[in-house]
């Protein structure tokens, strides 16, 4: 291709590069693909700064779940460097008091040796109800959790709890934007994706059927098709 664009993918909480593996071959045709490391810092500002320091000068940016929170922070810090934006199963709102209390409990339990029990408890909210019995998906969640580890899980949860409200900056976003979600996301309801799509000028909303919180692995073909269309926009 004559006009390739570097593509930067940001995973979510307890997600590693494995989450994007099913869709990378389709994206790679459009330019070099990098999966950001988002496990080294415990606040969104520092995570975004470090990712920007390692990123190409200008890139297409896709963030999944926590990765979407990081994407918003990257937009705050360096909007001119983001050529295209994809927000996958994420939201613009800050943490609720209830969610923060739940995260604090998970941090304490993870540090007390219950990390894998927490991954098991998170799993039903990660996938479509029809796929909760799939051992392969459950194993993937555990493998990614092992990739991240307890210490980084604590840093990630700390950063998520402290994230800013990104709704006020949605109107700033001028680049081609895809908002992608599943029809039954039980972790971040798709009404919050609708909110983002309505608040970001010109954003395209795609809701995948029979899909939960992990579209890259639940509906890889449909997810890849939506991302390819975004890269072509």
Contact between 180 and 226 under an 8 Å Cβ cutoff? The reply is: yes
Q: Position of tokens 């040796």?
A: 113
Which long-range CB contacts under 8 A does 138-141 form with residues at least 24 apart?
Answer: 140/18, 140/217, 141/14
Domain boundaries, the chain: 1-233
Task: Reply yes or no on domain 1-233 having CATH 1.10.530.10.
Answer: no
Per-residue pLDDT of the chain (233 residues), as tens digits, is 456 899 999 999 999 999 999 999 999 999 999 999 999 999 999 999 999 999 999 999 999 999 999 999 999 999 999 999 999 999 999 999 999 999 999 999 999 999 999 999 999 999 999 999 999 999 999 999 999 999 999 999 999 999 999 999 999 999 999 999 999 999 999 999 999 999 999 999 999 999 999 999 999 999 999 999 999 98
CA angle 82, 84, 90 (to 5 degrees): 95
pLDDT for the residue numbered 2: 52
Question: How does pLDDT run across 81-121, given as a tens digit for each residue?
Answer: 999 999 999 999 999 999 999 999 999 999 999 999 999 99
pLDDT for the residue numbered 1: 44
| Contacts of residue 173, Cβ cutoff 8 Å, sequence gap at least 6 | 75, 79, 85, 200, 201, 203
Distance CA 25, CA 202 (A): 27
Residue 232 backbone class (left: φ over 0; alpha: ψ -120 to 50; beta: rest)? alpha
Q: Position of tokens 């969610």?
A: 99
CB atoms within 10 A of CB 25: 11
| Contacts of residue 133, Cβ cutoff 8 Å, sequence gap at least 6 | none
Q: How many CA atoms lie within 13 A of 64 on its CB side?
A: 27
Tell me the pTM.
0.97
């Amino acid at each position: 291709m004559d006009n390739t664009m570097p593509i930067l993918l940001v995973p979510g909480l307890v997600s590693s590069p494995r989450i994007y593996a099913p869709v990378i071959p389709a994206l790679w045709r459009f330019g070099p693909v990098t999966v950001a490391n988002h496990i080294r810092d415990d606040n969104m500002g520092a995570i975004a700064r470090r990712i920007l320091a390692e990123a190409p000068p200008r890139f297409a940016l896709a963030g999944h779940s926590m990765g979407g929170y990081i994407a918003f922070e990257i937009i705050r810090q360096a909007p001119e460097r983001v050529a295209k934006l994809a927000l996958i199963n994420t939201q613009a709102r800050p943490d609720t008091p209830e969610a923060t209390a739940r995260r604090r409990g998970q941090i304490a339990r993870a540090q007390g040796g219950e990390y894998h029990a927490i991954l098991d408890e998170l799993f039903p909210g990660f996938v479509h109800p029809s796929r909760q019995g799939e051992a392969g998906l459950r194993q993937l969640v555990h493998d990614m959790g092992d990739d991240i580890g307890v210490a980084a899980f604590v840093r990630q949860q700390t950063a998520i709890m402290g994230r800013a409200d990104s709704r006020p900056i949605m109107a700033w976003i001028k680049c081609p934007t895809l908002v992608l979600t599943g029809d039954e996301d039980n972790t971040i309801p798709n009404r919050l994706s609708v909110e983002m799509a309505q608040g970001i000028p010109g954003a395209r909303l795609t809701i995948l059927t029979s899909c939960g919180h992990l579209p890259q692995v639940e509906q890889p073909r449909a997810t890849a098709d939506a991302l390819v269309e975004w890269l072509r926009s």
